Amino acid sequence: MRKLFSTRLLFLVLAFLAVSSVAAAQVSVGVVVNFAPPELPVYDQPPCPGEGYIWTPGYWGWDGNDYYWIPGTWVLAPAVGFLWTPGYWAWGGNGFLFHEGYWGPQVGFYGGIDYGFGYFGHGYEGGRWDHDHFYYNRSVNNINVTEIHNVYNTRVVNRSNTRRVSYNGGNGGISARPTPEQEAITRERHVAATPAQSQQVAQARSDRELKASVNHGKPPIAATPKAGAFNDGSALPAREGGRYLPPAENHEEQPKNGNARPAPVIHPSDIPPSKRPPVSNTGNPKLDKKYQQQDQKLYKQQEQARQKLQQQQDKEHQKLDKQRADDARKQKMEEKHQKQTQQLMQKQAQQRQHLQTRQAPPKPHPAPSHPPHND
């Protein structure tokens, strides 16, 4: 047994080195969508097909024109000790970006999204590794104990946001922020999705019935027992659809001219980053230096003001989360935050305009006009 565990441990180390890995900066995919994904549908979990399989929750993908549902499924872990961190959509300032999921020894940040079945917005409550065996928590997983004996039963109190919102940030999104520990996990080396998971995505992408515009947020195949088993008798439809707003009705709609139309800015972190002031060039070195110092001072003051307001709003989010506030209170707070952020933007725009006016060269005085002389 010790020799077997040593072999498995060696395999784990080799997997980290040999399997394609991604760094934190590579997690985000360069796909920007101008309207939010539908809510998450409600569905049941098919029974676990065997030991070593780990549940990977369903989510909305993007095919370039439409959202489509990628059913949740059971997948063999790529190595002993690995757990799955789900991918998630997040508002990026100019649209919604998808952050890819990954395998690793710890579960990292996945946007605070409540995917269910152990993924309640923070960490994973569905099971754990004990040496070279994975043990399943029966309270959140569909496990046939006559076939799988590595089980335990720990009741989990889901204290996360129980809304079915499928994205982080932006207008109406989950307000969770990564903890320092989660940020450290994100910076570690990770293993990308397995070939079986890629098969699940490819098959879902080619299935017209899984497009949001066709199923209106209620996919006919919401979960499969294994990757690619869309026609398996154990594949399950959604019991309840997620709220779906097509582009024509969505406040994040993309205009007909193709230009991105940003969603309302709610928090200071949603404000596009400020450009550093350009180097002044008046022809007077002393004056240029003076103007540059003024520009840098204002830039620093405005960045500090943004950070201060963001920290204040983060504390208010955390306070409501601890109080388990209902959606009405959270919506009221979001409206308050939006007003605060807009006021900050207006104030800072006025500050920049005022400084530019002060630095503008004086207008030349018009030459005095003299009445014509009559000779």
- Do 132 and 202 belong together in one domain? yes
Cβ–Cβ under 8 Å, residues 71 and 221: yes
- Do 64 and 147 belong together in one domain? yes
Cβ–Cβ under 8 Å, residues 160 and 168: no
pLDDT digits (tens, 9 = 90+) for 58-93: 999 998 889 999 999 999 999 999 999 999 999 988
- Do 329 and 180 belong together in one domain? no
Q: Is residue 133 part of a domain?
A: yes
- Do 122 and 228 belong together in one domain? yes
- Do 236 and 279 belong together in one domain? no
* 15-19, 88-92, 220-224, 314-318: which is most confident: 220-224
% of the chain at pLDDT higher than 70 = 76
- Do 79 and 204 belong together in one domain? yes
Q: Is residue 96 part of a domain?
A: yes
pLDDT at 12: 45
Q: Is residue 110 part of a domain?
A: yes
Give the H or E element holding residue 126: none
Mean confidence (pLDDT) of the chain: 81
- Do 189 and 40 belong together in one domain? yes
- Do 182 and 288 belong together in one domain? no
The domain total for the chain is 2
Q: Is residue 1 part of a domain?
A: no
Pairing of strands 83-85, 102-104: antiparallel
Cβ–Cβ under 8 Å, residues 306 and 268: yes
- Do 200 and 308 belong together in one domain? no
Model confidence at 350, pLDDT cuts 50, 70, 90, reads confident
pLDDT digits (tens, 9 = 90+) for 191-223: 999 999 999 999 999 999 999 999 999 999 999
Q: Is residue 72 part of a domain?
A: yes
- Do 112 and 231 belong together in one domain? yes
What is the C-alpha to C-alpha distance for residues 341 and 309, in angstroms, rounded to an integer? Answer: 8
Domain containing 124 equals 19-240
* 23-37, 72-86, 176-190: which is most confident: 72-86
Long-range CB contacts (< 8 A, 24+ apart) of 132-138? 132/4, 132/5, 132/8, 132/80, 133/51, 134/51, 134/52, 134/54, 134/77, 136/48
Q: Is residue 254 part of a domain?
A: no
- Do 51 and 123 belong together in one domain? yes
Q: Is residue 113 part of a domain?
A: yes
- Do 214 and 277 belong together in one domain? no
Residues 6+ apart with CB under 8 A from 105: 81, 82, 83
pLDDT at 167: 94
pLDDT at 332: 80
Q: Is the pLDDT of residue 365 over 90?
A: no
Cβ–Cβ under 8 Å, residues 143 and 47: yes
Mean pLDDT of 253-281: 56
Comparing 116-120, 156-160, 184-188, 254-258, the range with the smallest average pLDDT is 254-258
